[in-house]
Amino acid sequence: MAHDHHDHDHPHSLLPPEPALRVKALETVLTDRGLIDPAALDEIIDTYQNRIGPKNGAAVVARAWTDPAFRDRLLADATAVVADLGFFGRQGEHVVAVQNSPEVHNIVVCTLCSCYPWPLLGIPPAWYKSDAYRARAVREPRAVLADFGVSLPETTAVRVWDSTAEIRYLVIPMRPEGTEGMSVEQLAELVTRDSMVGTGLPKAPE
């Protein structure tokens, strides 16, 4: 293949991968029809790449740990709380917060595709989108948790939530021991992405 060489003397521009050219072709057709605004595309990419991510969810969880009234509102109507906080998200989904306890550990999956609470957690990682996770999270959640290094007491039930286009879930993990007196900001540092999907636990305080 003449176009695959990796020296620094390309006689022509490096050919992007085939799907990249298909995306460019679609963009050109849609731009010609006046259906898309290239600046809006850049804005969306910047938002998802740089501005929204698990930090949003971590701030919500840390506040829920420290503010019982906020936690109750979150559990009653997370959609409204997320909207109040001004987090981006226009796909019209409802957000439901589910709380871990010594009795119940919650884990979130999307068995059909990859629905995920974008405004709170950003774009899902590859494992969330993999066939393996989507199939096994429901069938053998404890084995999946073990893959993630999480082992729960036998007395803790595991509850699996299957996301849809309409409903996305946020797990509120249990607040780690030894965090009394920590500020909301310090607590948020302990809240990992995986702990809000249910495949991990929050970090222990140092």
Partner 1 sequence: MNTGMNTGAPEPVFTQPWHAQVFALTVHLNEAGQFAWPDWTARFSRTLARHGLARELDGGDDYFTAWLETLEELLADLGQADPAEVDRLHAAWESAYLTTPHGAPVRLGR
Positions that interact with partner 1 (CB under 8 A): 3, 9-17, 19-30, 33, 35-37, 40-42, 44-45, 48-49, 53, 90-93, 112-115, 122-123, 125-133, 136, 144, 147-149, 164-166, 192-194, 199-200
Q: Which residue's CB is nearer to partner 1, number 123 or number 174?
A: 123
Of residues 70 and 127, the one with the C-beta less far from partner 1:
127
Q: How far is the CB of 131 from partner 1 (least distance, A)?
A: 5
Determine phi and psi for 164, rounding to 5 degrees: -135, 180
Closer to partner 1 by Cβ: residue 20 or 204: 20
Q: What angle, rounded to 10 degrees, do the helices at 68-76 and 54-66 form?
A: 120
CB of 111 to partner 1, least distance (A): 9
Instruction: Give residue 63's identity as a one-letter amino acid code.
Output: R
Q: Using the structure block, give the residue that is written with the tokens 């993999």.
A: 130
The least CB distance from residue 85 to partner 1, in Å, is 20
Is the CB of 31 or the CB of 186 nearer to partner 1? Answer: 31
Instruction: Please report how close the Cβ of residue 64 comes to partner 1 at its closest, in angstroms.
Output: 22
From the list 13, 101, 115, 130, the catalytic residue is: 115
> Is 13 a catalytic site residue?
no
Q: How far is the CB of 9 from partner 1 (least distance, A)?
A: 8
Report helix, strand or coil for 24.
helix
Nearest residue (CB) to partner 1, 98 versus 150: 150
- Helix, strand, or coil here: 98? strand
Neighbours of 107 (CB within 10 A): 25
Catalytic position from the list 113, 130, 151, 183: 113
* Site of tokens 């957000």: 95
3-state secondary structure of 176: coil
Does residue 114 carry a catalytic annotation?
Answer: yes
Alpha carbons 57 and 171: distance in angstroms, whole number = 9
Is residue 93 within 8 Å of 168, Cβ to Cβ? yes
**What positions carry a catalytic annotation?**
110, 113-115
